[in-house]
Chains A and B, each alone.
Chain A
Amino acid sequence: SNGDASPAVSMAELDHQAQIISKSHLETCQYLREELQQMSWENFVQDEVENYQRKPREVMWQLCAVKITEAIQYVVEFAKRIDGFMDLCQNDQIVLLKAGSLEVVFVRMCRMFDSQNNAVYFDGKFAGPDVFRALGCDDLIASVFDFAKSMCSLHLSEDELALFSAFVLLSADRSWLQEKLQVEKLQQKTQLALQHVLQKNQREDELLNKLRCKVSALRSLCSRHTEKLSAFRAVYPDIVGTRFPPLYKELFGA
């Protein structure tokens, strides 16, 4: 135990927490490893890339909003299955999901990312950054791809990825939390479980620090997403209002 919020937990408890979170992750990760392997890593051909590039900006934004929303629904389900999450007050469940669900989508993206070809699984095939040109935010897309590439380079196992996702989601420093201490306890326990798993998997000591650095990268990506959405909404208010998924609008204040 180190610090007020840090609970005294046994190894058995950490094992249990790690197992529950890994199980929740596998049950809710949208695509299983086996399914991803069967996708044969097929890339979009040039004609298909150009087809995406010719789409009107608002159509491509809508398509991406739908894909993000689908992925987020699985993250909500993941959160619900984390031991202790549903014991938090509903305000805090919502605060954590509003702030963290897209971050977890970015973390999970490394499972569907082909580092060699710099391509992500999107709309049925693997897409490079050029597929998203019509969105009009090349800088953000490049940063998202760089993030996925750097996550892949850590070669996290599924259980490590699961615990890191839970750690991100349970961030106790989000604004508007009502029972901050409860969230802190849960995040501390998750961090201890992550450390425990890293030690068990004989990972290098600095991996936890590398993962902590990813937290600030994730925040930056998400705030830039919000900025890009605001800029888009300023030009196409009706498109956002009528064609974007309601959950996306709830989460990102559109």
Chain B
Amino acid sequence: IVGGRSAVPGLFPWQALLMVEDVSRVPEGRWFGSGALLSESWVLTAAHVLRSHRRDASVVPVSPEHIRVYLGLHDIRTKHLAVNRTVERVLLHPRFDPRNYNNDIALVKLSQRVDLSGLALPVCLPPPGQDSSLPLPNTLGLVAGWGISNPNVSTDDTTASDLGDRSDVLQYVKLPVVDQEECRSSYASRYRKYNITENMFCAGYYEGGRDTCLGDSGGAFVMEDPHTGRWVAQGLVSWGGPEKCGSQRVYGVYTRVSNYMPWLQNHLDSDS
């Protein structure tokens, strides 16, 4: 998180740390990302966090045994104090496209249920049938993560290594949703190959300074429902341009969760 603040324990009780150790690709095979607790058994994240690293465009999920999920975690150095779960199943969205990160969404089923507490609580999902034009431009959301907070330090991968310049304490930042056309034209003007689809939205500031960054992937972009006061995961940290995180006019791109409610409900319901 660039330009954010340290969270206090329990501020983001749905925040999950996903540690991946794909031993077949050492040393590049170790990385981490975030996820959002949806229930005692399910964690929502971005598909690219759990896609096995390959040079071609094939989409193969990381084996469940190579994933660890930590919940109720505040300081990454005290993982041993957090709730620790292995994974039973990984469901990448079947139309996830690793070339443009379209449909960058995934579900993780924990091997064991999590006991809910003040430090581990689920986040809400958008109501089914929500207008796909939501969230509205300029409304604010919060994103948390243990990703890079100092983008001046170079990294060597599109996801952060847990040995890189990550934050020890969970950071969070408040970001406004960017007008979809502005987001699209911002990327189109600079990079022809980057395509902002209807399954994505941008958030961030034109002037930069505050942003998500490497290692924050999969974390929930939450917005407060004005009626219920509950926090709803409207987005998932997905990708950004090749410039430094927090650069001017380089918005972060988030998966639009409301577009996937049928797929999510289908899997969550079938499980319950």
State whether these chains interact: no
